[in-house]
Amino acid sequence: MSAPDLPRLNNRQVAEIFAAIGDLLQILGDNRFKIIAYQNAARSIEELNRDINAVHAAGELRTVPGIGQAIAEKIDELLTTGSIPYYEKLTAQVPAGVVEMMRVPDVGPKTAKRLWEELEITNVDELKAAAEAGRIRVLKGFGAKSEEKILKGIELLARRQDSRTPIGAARPLAEGLIADLLAALAPQTIQKIELAGSLRRWRETIGDVDILVVSAQPVAVMEAFRGLPQAVDILGAGERKSSIALPSGMQVDLRVVEAPHWGAALAYFTGSQAHNVAVRELAQKQGWSLNEYSLTSDAHPDLPDGTERFFETEEELYAFLGLDWVAPELRENSGEIQAARQHALPRLIELADIVGELHSHTTFSDGKGTIAEMAEAARSAGYRYWNVSDHSIGLGVTQGVDAAGLAEQRAEIDRLNTGYAAAGVDFRLLLGTEVEVLADGTLGLPDGVLATLDVVVASIHTGLRQERESITERCLKAVRNPHVDILGHPTGRLIGRREPSEIDLERVLQACAETGTIVEINAHPSRLDLSGPYARRAVELGCKLVINCDAHSREDIDLLPYGIHTARRGWITAADVINTRPLGEMLGMLKDQRR
């Protein structure tokens, strides 16, 4: 039981402490496996789909992947007493600024430790001054070049204060870069090219971009890559690997491998590290050591050590180890390897499964397109139904729609639908609203008005910083309203810009399951709300989901892949998502129709 007067720590705050322990252990030169254990625990807690306090209270810490006995005990100390003596002991040994120095590119934990112990440099500012004054070259193994590199690194660090880039910004940059690279080379220079790393796994934020290439002319590829106009800085230049910095400060690593290494290399550089470690352990048990090139026999029962196996595709590598191919979005060591062994991986939802959209805006509120323009864009993009759900009145930031506005929208929608029916076009508009959940949990439109609409989305845009109990109760009240079909972007987070609200999602999702309220995965890359892990939890609790672009313009219709891949990170199948169903069937799944 936690003491009543302790401030409640959220998952992110707990994760940060374990990540900090990992950093401190690195500087102190502790055991590598111990360091990885703390790093994995931190990530696992950050991505956990339940409140860590609830997991702790239920005595279920050990069921979380990455949390073993030692770390469970420390979480218990932290949540019961407010501190971890072990962490306090470590922080007392290392100045905070030394940990910060590790964030400078090219300054690893070993260098940070030496700078501190041998030159008494204890923070980034002192490091900068020392490098400028040429005082670092006195260290063995350092020279004027290393000082230059450090200064460049510090500049880069300052430029990207938050060093992770939201996927919505990273992906277009990476895709544009690949197109430019291909255009800069003679045709056929590159046989294969793919994004790897966190971008291929569709993580919400990207540390750096990893690109993998097969080519018989690695030097030409390297030169073209480093010569791209967006390469404002060359961070590394090898024969088969180079790194550049983009104007935003984001780093791009490009590696060229030989065709027979492709399968192992793509798997290795896709990660995640935790997934790779688990696959490597599995290989080890079968007498193979796995690296980024191949499998090599090592204590194999039937083969001499050193026998190599190559794989042109990932599928062949996984199959060799007795695993079904694992979609990159699932490679987070959260049950996918066991499922792949048992041939029990889910058939994940795909873009083509979506046939309708249930949350969109027009010029009636803050959208940029008229109803007719949005409808035309949706129809030609292949949608078969489209719910117009402008904001209700009373949301200060935008103009909203009142009962009279809804009547006007209804007339326009009826007119367009009549046209589609007459022309035999398989497309229908629906009339809905995105009704604001007001501070007290009442809604921005009266029940009598909501009852006339086809699909009601309820969302919170204001008062997101309410304390946990208030915002949870407020949301529960909306979920229990029989006219509310869909809960829109449940946490209100904006990736990299606004933290999720303090809402108790576990309780809210339970209420959604009980009342038949559909939970949204908002596909807009600034939101991705629910996240993959929470979407998985929602389905576990019995909820149905909807994946919506929340389009405010015709261009936004193209953002759907972000929602689909977020769903896939949550192990979601087409059957879990209502807008994969034809119109009549989808309507039958809404709360209104089930009463």
Is residue 272 within the footprint of ligand DGT (CB under 6 A)? yes
Q: Could you tell me if 589 and 578 are in contact, meaning their C-beta atoms sit under 8 angstroms apart?
A: yes
Shortest Cβ 361–Zn ion spacing (Å): 6
- Residue 44 near which of Zn ion, ligand DGT, Ca ion, none (CB within 5-8 Å, type-dependent): none
Is residue 207 within the footprint of ligand DGT (CB under 6 A)? yes
Q: Which is nearer to Zn ion, 190 or 449 (CB)?
A: 449
- Residue 387 near which of Ca ion, ligand DGT, Zn ion, none (CB within 5-8 Å, type-dependent): none
- Residue 277 near which of Zn ion, ligand DGT, Ca ion, none (CB within 5-8 Å, type-dependent): ligand DGT
- Residue 276 near which of Ca ion, Zn ion, ligand DGT, none (CB within 5-8 Å, type-dependent): ligand DGT
Q: Quote the CA–CA distance of 149 and 458 in Å, as a whole number.
A: 52
Q: Quote the CA–CA distance of 69 and 71 in Å, as a whole number.
A: 6
Shortest Cβ 198–Ca ion spacing (Å): 5
List phi, psi (to 5°) of 397.
-70, -25
- Residue 271 near which of Ca ion, Zn ion, ligand DGT, none (CB within 5-8 Å, type-dependent): ligand DGT
Is residue 197 within the footprint of Ca ion (CB under 5 A)? yes
Instruction: Identify the bridge partners of residue 275 per DSSP, sorted by sequence position.
Output: none
Q: Quote the CA–CA distance of 133 and 498 in Å, as a whole number.
A: 40
- Residue 364 near which of Zn ion, ligand DGT, Ca ion, none (CB within 5-8 Å, type-dependent): none
Shortest Cβ 195–ligand DGT spacing (Å): 10
Q: Could you tell me if 150 and 131 are in contact, meaning their C-beta atoms sit under 8 angstroms apart?
A: yes
Region 520-559 residues binding ligand DGT, contact defined as CB under 6 A: none
Helical H segments across 368-467, by residue range: 371-380, 403-423, 447-450
Q: Which helix (H) or strand (E) holds 239?
A: none
The DSSP result for 140-173, as a single string, is TT--HHHHHHHHHHHHHHHHTSS-PEEHHHHHHH
With CB under 6 A as the contact rule, which of the stretches 14-22, 264-272, 342-350, 505-513 interacts with ligand DGT? 264-272
* Count of residues in the chain: 595
# chain residues binding Ca ion, by CB under 5 A: 6
Is residue 253 within the footprint of Ca ion (CB under 5 A)? yes
SS3 content of the chain, % helix, strand, coil (to 5): 45, 15, 40
Is residue 276 within the footprint of ligand DGT (CB under 6 A)? yes
* Closest to 356 (Cα-Cα) out of 427, 424, 414: 427
| Angle subtended at Cα 245 by Cα 241 and Cα 250, rounded to the nearest 5 degrees | 110
Region 161-200 residues binding ligand DGT, contact defined as CB under 6 A: 197-198
Q: Quote the CA–CA distance of 501 and 157 in Å, as a whole number.
A: 29
Residue with tokens 């625990």: 41
Shortest Cβ 437–ligand DGT spacing (Å): 34
Residue number of the CB atom closest to Ca ion: 197
Residue from 64, 206, 511, 546 touching ligand DGT (CB under 6 A): that is: 206
Q: Which is nearer to Zn ion, 194 or 366 (CB)?
A: 366
- Residue 550 near which of Zn ion, ligand DGT, Ca ion, none (CB within 5-8 Å, type-dependent): Zn ion
Tokens for 312, please give them: 């042109």
What spatial distance separates the first Cα and last Cα of the chain, rounded to whole Å?
A: 41
Helical H segments across 189-346, by residue range: 197-200, 218-226, 262-270, 273-285, 314-320, 336-341
Residue type, 219: V
Shortest Cβ 550–Zn ion spacing (Å): 4
With CB under 5 A as the contact rule, which of the stretches 42-50, 160-168, 191-199, 481-489 interacts with Ca ion? 191-199
- Residue 434 near which of Zn ion, ligand DGT, Ca ion, none (CB within 5-8 Å, type-dependent): Zn ion
Is residue 208 within the footprint of ligand DGT (CB under 6 A)? yes
Shortest Cβ 364–Zn ion spacing (Å): 12
Half-sphere exposure (Cβ direction) of 87: Cα atoms closer than 13 Å: 21
Residue type, 448: G
Residues at the interface with Zn ion (CB under 5 A): 434, 550
Q: Which is nearer to Zn ion, 47 or 550 (CB)?
A: 550
Question: Strand pairing of 190-196 and 356-357?
Answer: unpaired
Handedness of CA 277, 283, 287, 288 (dihedral sign): negative
Q: Which is nearer to ligand DGT, 198 or 531 (CB)?
A: 198
Residue from 23, 147, 204, 208 touching Ca ion (CB under 5 A): that is: 208
* Closest to 210 (Cα-Cα) out of 292, 277, 270, 276: 270
Shortest Cβ 271–ligand DGT spacing (Å): 2
Is residue 277 within the footprint of ligand DGT (CB under 6 A)? yes
Residue type, 182: L
Show the site string, 106-145: x = touches ligand DGT by CB under 6 A, - = not.
Answer: ----------------------------------------
Instruction: Identify the bridge partners of residue 401 per DSSP, sorted by sequence position.
Output: 392
Q: Which is nearer to Zn ion, 208 or 550 (CB)?
A: 550
With CB under 6 A as the contact rule, which of the stretches 171-179, 235-243, 269-277, 511-519 interacts with ligand DGT? 269-277
Shortest Cβ 272–ligand DGT spacing (Å): 5
- 277-281 LR contacts (CB < 8 Å, sep 24+): 277/36, 277/333, 278/333, 278/337, 279/321, 279/323, 279/337
- Contact residues toward ligand DGT (CB under 6 A) are 197-198, 203, 206-208, 210, 268-269, 271-273, 276-277
- Contact residues toward Ca ion (CB under 5 A) are 197-198, 207-208, 210, 253
